[in-house]
Chain A
Amino acid sequence: MSDLRIKGRRRGKRVTIRVNGAPVAAYTGETLFAALLAAGIRTLRHSFNNPAKTARGGFCGMGVCQECRVTVDGLPDRRACMTEVREGMEVATDGR
């Protein structure tokens, strides 16, 4: 599993979230968007209203652009950038 985090920084407690069933490492205090990005998961949805069904992912990282919406613990359309990671969090991309 790739980890794109800057090495040697002090982080919160290590937790494990599950993304589409697969375990992903994260640290308390991180947003879900940051944790997904650090794990190299950039495609969170696909366009439904353009014919090419282009890949979509977080853009602004601050709650405005609505591009990073994922399903969190069964609740659809949660903004990953506005959600803090939690041990055992179940995340699904692409509206699954």
Chain B
Amino acid sequence: MSPPKADVLIIGAGVIGASIAFHLTRHGIKPLLIEKSSPAAGSSGACDGLVFLQSKKPGLHLKLAMESRRRFDGLIDVLGDGIEFKNPGGMCLIESDAELAAMRLFIEEQRRTGLGVELIEGDEARRREPCLSQRVIAATFSALDSQVNPYALTFAFLRTAKSAGARILMGEAVKGIERAAGKTIAVFTDNGRISAPVVVNAAGALAADVGRMAGLEVPITPRRGQILVTAAVPPLIRHCLISAQYVAAKFKPELAERGGMGFSLEQADSGNILIGSTREFVGFDRRTTFAGIRTIASRIVPVIPALQRIPVIRTFGGLRPYTPDGLPILGKVAGLDGFIMAAGHEGDGIALSAITGELIADLIAIGRTRFPLDAFRLERFHEGAA
């Protein structure tokens, strides 16, 4: 049975909605979270756990990620060891002279943003990460790169929020949003009407649908990432790893080799190695494909030959909430008081969850944020178009 009203209503119990709920309770606000299936049923439960800074775009995006990363140190004390946060540092693996040239420029930009990053030669990379083959000619290293268990993180946010008074409504889909005089006033579900002066759109890949209910055009589309999971094996991968090609493909597609693709990988606490990921626009189809899985597997084996003899036990696909400029959409929306956007993190939702939750909660509770949200406004996509 739905409660008749809520001070703050959050749509979506993925890592973003969960983090916002958690941070709101720290302000003494008891939000209502509405989730159409179950927590972490979307992207947050179908992704890797990398909190990678080297993969973020230098400038604002990287700054936001660094702020988020910093907050994880404090979050462990509140959320507990169960989130499996660890900070082994990360390497971006370089396999060609062209990538090396690009990464030299890239780390200059990263350093200007304030990220400590070092360029090391192939042999030094192999000394630190013995699983790497001779294909790796150099690597960039950053001590801040980390990993976390995304499921455990989402549930820890929810559990902690719940014990502080947040309410979570599961299996209930939002069907409409009532607005009047430029304000949101209520949300409709299958079970009725819930009045709410503040509504947060944390619906991830489905955020465009929720936006439409409020009469807004939200340019978030699903982008599929397929991931392989190996059997649990004794510690093999020491660092969070990503290929320079992945970074190149993300920001400078012209640098990515023809038909090639990058990869990222991590070894979870359980010993399973997660290897990702494709980047495909195929609508809401989250199935894996033989071609996608084979591409990832054949790409990774020459770089980490030991993986050839480790069985893949599972594969899955997740839908990343993609925005055209790679930045999330955060904050208030012009012309619709009480409606707040917190979606569009693409593959960075886990990494950015800590800061996103804090910023949105601060915005709701005290009306200002420690990090300016101007660049993340929804209106950036509509300006100049009219």
- Residues of A at the B interface (CB closer than 8 Å) are 48-49, 66, 69, 75-77, 79
**Which residues on the A side are within 8 Å of B232 (C-beta)?**
48-49, 66
**Which residues on the B side are within 8 Å of A48 (C-beta)?**
232-235, 271
B313 contacts partner chain A, Cβ-Cβ < 8 Å:
yes
Q: Which of B231, B235, B269 contacts A69 (CB 8 A)?
A: B231
**Which residues on the A side are within 8 Å of B234 (C-beta)?**
48-49
- Residues of B at the A interface (CB closer than 8 Å) are 231-235, 269-271, 309-311, 313
**Which residues on the A side are within 8 Å of B235 (C-beta)?**
48
Q: Contact between A77 and B271 (Cβ–Cβ < 8 Å)?
A: no
In the assembled complex, the Cα of A32 lies from the Cα of B194 at a distance in Å of 59
Q: Contact between B309 and A77 (Cβ–Cβ < 8 Å)?
A: yes
Q: Which 9 A-B pairs have the closest CB atoms?
A: A48-B234, A77-B311, A49-B271, A66-B231, A66-B313, A76-B309, A77-B231, A77-B310, A49-B270
Return 23 A-B CB contacts under 8 Å, by A number. A48-B232, A48-B233, A48-B234, A48-B235, A49-B232, A49-B269, A49-B270, A49-B271, A66-B231, A66-B232, A66-B311, A66-B313, A69-B231, A69-B311, A75-B309, A76-B309, A76-B310, A77-B231, A77-B233, A77-B309, A77-B310, A77-B311, A79-B311
**Which residues on the B side are within 8 Å of A69 (C-beta)?**
231, 311
How many cross-chain pairs have Cβ atoms below 8 Å apart between A and B? 25
**Which residues on the B side are within 8 Å of A75 (C-beta)?**
309
Known A48-B234, A69-B231, A77-B311; 20 more pairs at CB < 8 Å: A48-B232, A48-B233, A48-B235, A48-B271, A49-B232, A49-B234, A49-B269, A49-B270, A49-B271, A66-B231, A66-B311, A66-B313, A69-B311, A75-B309, A76-B309, A76-B310, A77-B231, A77-B309, A77-B310, A79-B311
Closest chain B CB from A50 CB (angstroms): 10
